[in-house]
Structure 1
């Protein structure tokens, strides 16, 4: 190969080439550059390198209540007029729009329906009071009626006793008349008594027999009267209980009707209150972003979106999306560097101290699930320990895009290159406790203090 290469040159050229000499300065410069290159490689191999996880996101409000909100229509109708424009700064409670109902006579009809329900309520209240009084009177009359029935039964029992005594007296009189009749018959047989005396004795005997039958009839009637009055007492007890239960059932029905009227009246009052609230107000301080309904022509339903409000946020945060492969490397409290869109910056991921225009942050929240595409949301807030504050609201409007780097362990550049060439993962940071220290470190210190005490 060398013979073929040199054959392409002529003899004078070979002689000239043999006489050419390298300039000493150039040789020394080449050696110096080579040495500097090796020294630089050695220094770079031991240069500190900050491992990081990159993500993209946007600026949001830290409190969910201060993020973008949809303002809905409180009632059905149409937008009469807007009192604001897109971009208007509003205060809490400021009127944004006035709504008009589709039926101009609806309020009058609702008022008439309310008057009818109020009259119906008065009627049902009167019925309830009436049935209350009927129930009270029936409960009061029941013991009095039962007492009167019991008194009538006791009187009948006394009459039965009197009838029994009359029967006994009549039987005694009949016995006496029977003895007298036997005596007169004996005397008549001996001729010692006249026929007239015997006839009088027979008449007296017949009268006493009639009195016994009359007394027995009276006793039977007294017994029947007791049975009848006892049955009347039982019937009166049942009738009184039935009257009380009927009055109670009617009272319950009237109370039910009263409750229905109250429910209908409450529903109507709710409709009236909603219809009377035909103004849309701002729920909090903020800026009107979009107006979603045209005034005058467009009909809206209750709950339909009318406008979008961006609340004034007191504390801003960055919603950063990172890949699921990098998520295990991030823990709550990890430091981050953020580059906001529209704000001039020069960022070195591995050397955050040399970055210009980027801002410090801390990981405050890591979502428990992804967005359906394998990306996880990490919420980053300003680092209170950093002296450089985040830009003002002029630069950090909600929705401004952000490039972020979550900082991990600090290693040497040589180790990082070796890790990348071999495909090894980055170092996993330990989880931090509430004091900002790795879990276990502060706890063991506390346990040691407890043991010492």
Structure 2
């Protein structure tokens, strides 16, 4: 009741002996309530100073660490028509197992004897190359023989020229002797004529002397003709030498021209052989592509193409395979403002779909049903959803991830950051501040060491 009256009864009436007054006022409950408030406030004050682990929350999905371990789609390398299936969805296949068989649909490859006929073409062209090779060898032998014959002919012509030069020298000497004899005979005839005039010689002796003079003149003329004839022979020998050289030069040029023609034809044939061999190997490899095989061990997830007789194009998707061996990881996405807070080696706690858990992001040690991980990669380029992808692998020192966990399952991640008091965390959230970004002294030292090693 309200105590509004100015007349007080405290000290005048024993209130405790009156039951009505005891029902109106109970000082004991008031004291207990006050004590509870004090205790709660004290406990709240103490709780405010308890440590709290800051974290970044993000959703992700289970994937694999290696790209080769993720679900993959098998494509058709060539276009064809599906003729027979050897597997079904859920089948286990090993690397190299046949998945399906296709037949050819392109008109360039419909010939059933395509490989054998292409092989015959290759052999025919190889024989052509061999024949051109033999022709080149024969022309090389012919050129060698011509060079040898030319060398002998030229040497023979030079020797003949040398003989003629010696003959010219001999004829020159004979001419000089004839000139000398003619001069002597001329002088003898002149003396004989003087003596005849003086009556000392007879007419017969004079005529004999004149006859000798005429004979010496005839020998002189004959020697001159012989010398000129020898000089003409020298000119003819030189002309013959040039003729031999020109003749064999023409023959050699013709033989070399035929040789280079044969070489060109051989090179063309070799190029055609290489082209046909390449074509043959392409046909052979293509015939092996009619059977689509498994690229690795795994399970058939889905058959994208179905039925018999369906036509597929080059690069068309056929089936999806999930590898049997894989290393699990989680791909989670964080906001750009949280990117500086995440680094390699950072601890992350996960809650997987289907595994019940009781999680306390601020007190990870009290959480139940969560699994630890370590950050191994952070994308440097933003994803299509406007966030950055972070790849996390299982923590080797933590609890192992569930064996039944499958690729594609959902995951909720909590990246653990700095330990701060609860009052600071409440104050930060009330003001909308981001979590603290920091590095421990140990991490800073390692960073400086790595930078020094890189330099």
- Common fold: TM-score over 0.5: yes
Identify the residue that residue 224 of structure 1 maps to in structure 2. Answer: 235
Identify the residue that residue 10 of structure 2 maps to in structure 1. Answer: none
Structure 2 Cα separation of the partners of residues 181 and 351 of structure 1: 152
Identify the residue that residue 204 of structure 1 maps to in structure 2. Answer: 215
Compared CA separation, residues 295 and 247, structure 1 to 2 (3 A):
farther
1:381 offset after TM fit, Å?
Answer: 0.8
Contact in 1 for aligned 2:60/2:331 (Cα 8 Å): yes
Give TM-score, length-normalised by structure 1: 0.84
Written as runs of structure 1 = structure 2, the 5 A alignment for 1:236-255 is: 238-239=249-250, 242=253, 245-246=256-257, 249-250=260-261, 252-255=263-266
Compared CA separation, residues 69 and 27, structure 1 to 2 (3 A):
same
Q: CA RMSD in A?
A: 3.0
Alignment partner of 1:430 is 2:439: yes
Measured against aligned partners, the alpha-carbon deviations of 1:159-182 in whole angstroms (never above 9, x if no partner) come to 222133123213412431453255
Structure 2 Cα separation of the partners of residues 75 and 114 of structure 1: 22
Structure 1 Cα separation of the partners of residues 225 and 315 of structure 2: 95
Structure 2 Cα separation of the partners of residues 421 and 245 of structure 1: 98
1:175 corresponds, among 180, 185, 198, to 180
> How many aligned positions are there?
423
Written as runs of structure 1 = structure 2, the 5 A alignment for 1:378-393 is: 378-386=390-398, 388-392=399-403
Question: Which structure 2 segments of 5+ residues have no match?
Answer: 3-19
Structure 1 Cα separation of the partners of residues 315 and 435 of structure 2: 50
1:111 offset after TM fit, Å?
Answer: 2.5
Structure 2 Cα separation of the partners of residues 135 and 25 of structure 1: 132
Q: Which protein has the larger Cα radius of gyration, Structure 1 or Structure 2? A: 2
Alignment partner of 1:50 is 2:62: no
1:26 offset after TM fit, Å?
Answer: 3.3
Compared CA separation, residues 158 and 179, structure 1 to 2 (3 A):
same
Structure 2 Cα separation of the partners of residues 207 and 438 of structure 1: 128
Alignment partner of 1:108 is 2:120: no
Compared CA separation, residues 258 and 176, structure 1 to 2 (3 A):
same
Written as runs of structure 1 = structure 2, the 5 A alignment for 1:141-152 is: 141-152=146-157
1:192 corresponds, among 198, 202, 222, to 202
Identify the residue that residue 339 of structure 1 maps to in structure 2. Answer: 351
Give TM-score, length-normalised by structure 2: 0.83
Instruction: Please say which of residues 100-109 and 304-313 is displaced more in the overlay.
Output: 100-109
Identify the residue that residue 14 of structure 2 maps to in structure 1. Answer: none
Contact in 2 for aligned 1:57/1:321 (Cα 8 Å): yes
Compared CA separation, residues 227 and 295, structure 1 to 2 (3 A):
farther
1:333 offset after TM fit, Å?
Answer: 0.7
Structure 2 Cα separation of the partners of residues 268 and 25 of structure 1: 106
1:284 offset after TM fit, Å?
Answer: 0.9
Structure 2 Cα separation of the partners of residues 250 and 96 of structure 1: 53
Alignment partner of 1:403 is 2:412: yes
Written as runs of structure 1 = structure 2, the 5 A alignment for 1:265-344 is: 265-277=276-288, 278-344=290-356
Compared CA separation, residues 241 and 373, structure 1 to 2 (3 A):
farther
Instruction: Please say which of residues 154-163 and 46-55 is displaced more in the overlay.
Output: 154-163
Identify the residue that residue 8 of structure 1 maps to in structure 2. Answer: none
Structure 1 Cα separation of the partners of residues 440 and 210 of structure 2: 138
